[in-house]
Structure 1
Amino acid sequence: MLRKVQYLFFIILFLPHLAAGQADNNSPYSRFGIGDIAHHSFGKNRALGGISFGLRDPNAIVIANPASLSARDTMSFLFEFGVIGKSTELSSGNLTDRFDDINFNHLAIAFPITKRLGTSIGIIPYSNQNYNIISTIREGDILYNPATGDLDCKYIGEGGINQFFIGNALKLNKNLSVGFNFSYLFGTLERIRTLSFVDRYDFYNSKYSDKTIIGDIKFDWGLQYTANLKHDLELTVGAIFSSNTKLSAKQEVLQENIVYSVDPGIYTDTVQNYTDDNGHIFLPGKIGAGFTLKKGDKLMIGADYYSQNWSDARFFGKSDSLKNANTIRGGIEFLPNSRDLRNYLNSIHYRIGGHYSNTYLQLSGEQITDFGISFGLGLPLRGSKSIFNIAFELGQRGTLDKNLIKEKYGILSFSLTLYDFWFLKPKFD
């Protein structure tokens, strides 16, 4: 029991640091909406293309469908921590740039309350925003104006939204489980835009800052049904649902003109400065379904589909360049022989998956797509049910058509799932 208390203390101690440390590498597409929506994938399902809705495993934490939390063994206690590293290559026209980053991905625990009731507590990123774009207008460019001369425009975005969640699941009978996630979303999104006249000191340079501070609750629901078929086959189908969510948000806007003068030098002139303490952000509901088909513990295949009506989203009463989004995911896991104690390679979980998304972005009349493949390993720790998960993803988002940006990315993720026993009394000689 002392070890569980230590786990809980670790979570409480490091939650503020994990939340504050959230960031993602440079992506101009995170400029829109609430930024890049994070994957709610932990160690196992990240290598499986992200499948979650029909995934049911007593030795893994799956929060995308909270109904899966009832799969816990009566005395099991799971602790999981994960980090990801991402490398992104951005291309636009003849220009190419690359960015690398490593970050926290998730921290969670899961344990049973009763034989039928399971719980999970943790924190994950909900969305990330990070971009730094410099645009120059020079003589010969289409937008060049001789009256204003050369211009430098800079767009900066940073911050993100974190999700602290408490998930609960109830096993209604041996086949059917229902669950819900109670989440608190919190974080800050800041966007800064500057305009500088390179050759004209008699013009005012300008700086516009828009900061959004979010803090409110959100609910998600899920169910799973498991049926035992012939020939050692087990089918689990799952569904998830969340309704439209109205989040309380605070907006701080500051617009300044930067004035140059001989005396006293550089000073700012405030054009507008206001705060909206009673604003709201409307997030669209989400609906999805999926399945997994398992043959004993050797083979599992699964797939998910979900959609969200992002065209209904509103940010302080305004819409954005958003469109209804949908995603399909699939994955396969193979375990040669979990009982082979001589050959460690036979006890490794081998995983592969893929995804294709019509994202919620529509720019220049083009809906931005995101697709990729993933593969990974589940490396069991000898003498326990704990496991070390590795996943690697390769994907692409966007296009070079219509002067848009293409992102090629690679993601390497690591997670450790520690399995321990809950309320098990130690024996002494």
Structure 2
Amino acid sequence: MKNRVSFLVLVIFSSFCAYSQSIATSPYSLYGLGSLYEANFGLTPALGTAGIALSSDGFINNKNAASLVDIPTNNFFFEIGGVGIQSSFEDNLRIEKRNNFQFSHFAFAFPITSKSAFSFALTPYSSSSFKISELKIPIIDGNNEYYYLNVMGTGGLNNLDLSYAYKLSNKLSLGFSASVLFGNTTDERTYTISNSVTSIDKKVNYRGIRPIFSSQFKINPSLTLGLNVKSPTRVNAVKIQSVTVVNDTGSSSLETDEQSDTDDFYLPLDIGLGFNKSFKNKFNVTFDYEKSFWNDTNQSDMYGNFSDQEKFSLGFSYQKAKTSRSYFDKIKFAAGVHYDTGYLEVDNKKINDRNFSIGASLPLDRLSSALFISYTYGSKGEITNSLIQENYHKLSLSLNLDGVWFVRKKLE
């Protein structure tokens, strides 16, 4: 286990030293499908990502499809966003830094009838990008023989989300979503032993569909409860691989674009609960609790095991007056905290994530068009023999444009 742990640390630092401008925002993208990406729309990033019980009256709330019924009649929401991240990675010996900017989401939503609504969203689901150069690894413990490893990995999965919401009553609404996952990862590696070089080029294509059920219940105008259930899903995988050996006698191809089924990846049952409470239509408190049952997938990674994951999110917001002549009064300010236990356990330690955030919603017109901006500071992992600590600063920008459609002109 110690050799495996030491190799993990070497791989992590080699990856971000040699590939500092990768799409992945964390060296922990080496695991599974890569670094899982949670897209959050509107002001949600500033609320510690809490939003299961929030309304969609001012932005597209992708945390709960049932909220879509709150989009005003004849209105059309269009939203696009991006994230800038500055990260530093630290162990007992050194610190490395990385800067990155990436697309976060594209979405639109609109009411179909007075009781139903639809949304479309495209977001990254995971990303994996790393590079290892001339990593020296002993062939046998205690032996002076070594081989050299070079690896380059890229790719990730995308998420196409289609959602439908229906209002059963003035208090209860339901949401149904189909999360379509698709994408691929590539892994190109060479093993050098004496005068022999073995090259393995592998590409794995993934695809899967994940059903999601959600609901919101308005106990009264100031208190809302939310539920979000993501079904366990099998992500199908197909591998295409080529293997070439070069030595003193020449070059030979052992495999050329050989296609075969490989181990599928399993996503767990996810359950999220949330509540939202407003006070005098000015101050708002929202809280989410989410649990992912990774233990039930019976999966493990090369460097650790998947285990149940819990997330706690708490957010606060304040807006003096939604309708006012003063622009400053219409700005909504927000702050939040978030704690994620993580789903991977390495050397009996979880890779947890904790952060706090602040932000604001800047209105652009008399409708719901707004620019959402938030800042998050967080830390992932810890400095141990088996893990490194990642500290990050994240700036999230999201633009929501609100248009009124299908309304006849009163004057010709």
Fold match by TM threshold 0.5 = yes
Following the alignment from structure 2 to structure 1, what is the Cα–Cα distance between the partners of residues 142 and 85?
37
Quote how far apart the aligned CAs of 1:318 are. Answer: 10
- Match 2:149 to one of 150, 153, 161: 153
Partner Cα distance (1:413, 1:152) in 2: 40
Q: Identify the match of residue 363 of structure 1 among 332, 343, 346.
A: 346
Which moves more between the two structures, 168-177 or 374-383? 374-383
Indicate whether 1:92 and 2:91 are aligned: yes
Partner residue of 1:414 out of 390, 397, 406 = 397
> Could you say what secondary structure the match of 2:343 adopts?
strand
Q: Which amino acid aligns with 1:413?
A: S
Structure-2 change in CA distance of 1:138 and 1:243 (3 Å): closer
Q: CA deviation at 1:124?
A: 0.9
**Equivalent residues of 1:32, 1:321 under 8 A apart:** no
Aligned pairs for 1:106-145 (under 5 A) are 106-134=105-133, 136-137=135-136, 145=143
Q: Write the mapping of 1:160-239 to structure 2, written as runs, cut at 5 A.
A: 160-197=156-193, 200-201=194-195, 204-228=196-220, 234-239=222-227
Q: How many residues align?
A: 391
Deviation of 1:129 (Å): 1.4
Aligned amino acid, residue 244 of structure 1: P
Q: Report whether the alignment pairs 1:240 with 2:228.
A: yes
Contact 1:25 1:99 in 2 (8 A): no
What is the TM-score of this pair, normalised by structure 1? 0.84
| Aligned residue type for 1:253 | Q
1:376 — aligned with what? 359
Match of 1:307, SS? strand
Aligned to 1:69: 68
Hey, what does 2:267 align to over in structure 1? 283
- Return the letter of the residue paired with 2:234: K
1:25-53 CA deviation, whole Å, 9 max, x = no partner? Answer: 35331111211221131121111110121
For residue 213 of structure 2, what is the amino acid of its counterpart?
W
Secondary structure class of the residue paired with 1:33: coil
Mapping 1:38-77, distance limit 5 Å: 38-77=37-76
Deviation at 1:213, TM superposition (A): 0.6
Pair 1:297 & 2:293 matched: no
* Alpha-carbon contact 1:92-1:406 (below 8 Å) kept: yes
| 2:315 aligned partner | 331
Q: CA deviation at 1:260?
A: 5.2
> Structure 2 vs 1, CA of residues 78 and 368 (structure 1 numbering), >3 Å: closer, same or farther?
same
Instruction: Name the SS for the 2:408 alignment partner.
Output: coil
State the alpha-carbon separation in 2 of the partners of residues 205 and 95 from structure 1: 32
Paired residue secondary structure (1:69): helix
1:317 & 1:413 partners in 2: Cα distance? 31
Cα deviation 1:118-166 (Å, max 9, x = unaligned): 1111211111212224463389xx9674234xx5433432211111111
**Cα displacement string for residues 333-372 of structure 1 (whole angstroms, at most 9, x for unaligned residues):** 1112233323x22221111111111111111221111111
In 2, the alpha carbon distance for the partners of 1:193 and 1:306 equals 38
Assess, with a 3 A threshold, how the Cα gap between structure 1 residues 93 and 137 changes in structure 2: closer, same or farther. Answer: farther
Secondary structure in 1 aligned to 2:69?
A: helix
Q: Pick from 290, 310, 321: which aligns with 1:306?
A: 290
For residues 42 and 398 of structure 2, the distance between their equivalents in structure 1, rounded to whole angstroms, comes to 5
Matched, 1:340 2:295: no
Any gaps of 5 or more consecutive residues in structure 1? 1-22
Q: Distance in 2 between matches of 1:297 and 1:386?
A: 20
1:19-30 to 2 correspondences below 5 Å = 24-25=23-24, 27-30=26-29
Contact 1:298–1:336 at 8 Å: present in 2 too? yes
Distance 1:341 1:258 in 2: 75
Deviation at 1:167, TM superposition (A): 0.5
Measured against aligned partners, the alpha-carbon deviations of 1:59-107 in whole angstroms (never above 9, x if no partner) come to 2111221111111111111000001111111123312211111111101
Partner of 1:256: 244
Letter in 2 for 1:246: R
Q: Secondary structure at the match of 2:351?
A: strand
- Residues in 2 aligned to 1:133 and 1:324: alpha-carbon distance in whole angstroms: 30
- Is the contact made by 1:26 and 1:132 (CA closer than 8 Å) also made in structure 2? no
- 1:296 Cα offset (Å): 4.3
Q: Give unmatched runs, 5+ long, in structure 2.
A: 1-21
What do you get for the CA RMSD once the two structures are aligned? 2.7
Q: Which position in structure 2 is the counterpart of 1:37?
A: 36
SS of 2:328's equivalent in the other structure is helix
TM-score w.r.t. the length of structure 2 is: 0.87
8 Å Cα contact 1:314/1:320 also seen in 2 = no
Q: What is the Cα deviation at residue 269 of structure 1?
A: 4.2
CA distance in 2 between counterparts of 1:268 and 1:92 reads 41
